[in-house]
Amino acid sequence: MASPINKKTLEHLAQLARIELDPREEERLLHDLQKILDYFGELQALDTAGVVPLTGGTLLRNVFRDDDERRNTNRGAGTDAFPESRGRLLKVPPVFE
């Protein structure tokens, strides 16, 4: 099978990524990319018909709490620590000058 990655394709990808490659790097990348694609070819040849798909490394279904409305929040707590406020707004010192 002909390699889908050739020098022209690699140069196009490098241009899209805005990177410059010297000829030595091009040859090394071509070789590495071909090895990666060959490995994927090996994986595609495996018969996985009887393998149950996995979605994660645990059997837990949902580890999050229910998203319920909460009426009693601590809204407004800590406002007394601010040096200046106007109504419900708090004045914060400038970050940039």
Identify the residue whose tokens are 């999050």. 64
Determine the 3-state secondary structure of 37 from DSSP: helix
Give the residue, 79 or 48, on which the prediction is more confident: 48
Contact 34, 5 (CB under 8 A): yes
Pick the range with the lowest mean pLDDT from 10-19, 57-66, 85-94: 57-66
Q: CA-CA distance, 31 to 24, in Å (whole number)?
A: 11
pLDDT confidence band for 2 (50 / 70 / 90): low
User: How would residue 30 be classed by pLDDT, with cut points 50, 70 and 90?
Assistant: very high
- pLDDT over 70 (residue 65): yes
The matching CATH number, chosen from 1.10.1760, 1.10.20, 1.25.40, 1.10.260, for 7-45 is 1.10.20
Cβ pair 82, 91 in contact under 8 A: yes
Of 26, 40, 37, the closest CA to residue 4 belongs to 37
Rounded to whole angstroms, how far apart are CA atoms 30 and 7? 7
- Interval 24-47 mean pLDDT: 92
Q: Please count the other Cβ atoms lying within 10 Å of the Cβ belonging to residue 96.
A: 3
Q: How many Cα atoms within 13 Å fall on the side-chain side of residue 12?
A: 6
pTM: 0.48
Q: What is the mean pLDDT of residues 19-24?
A: 92
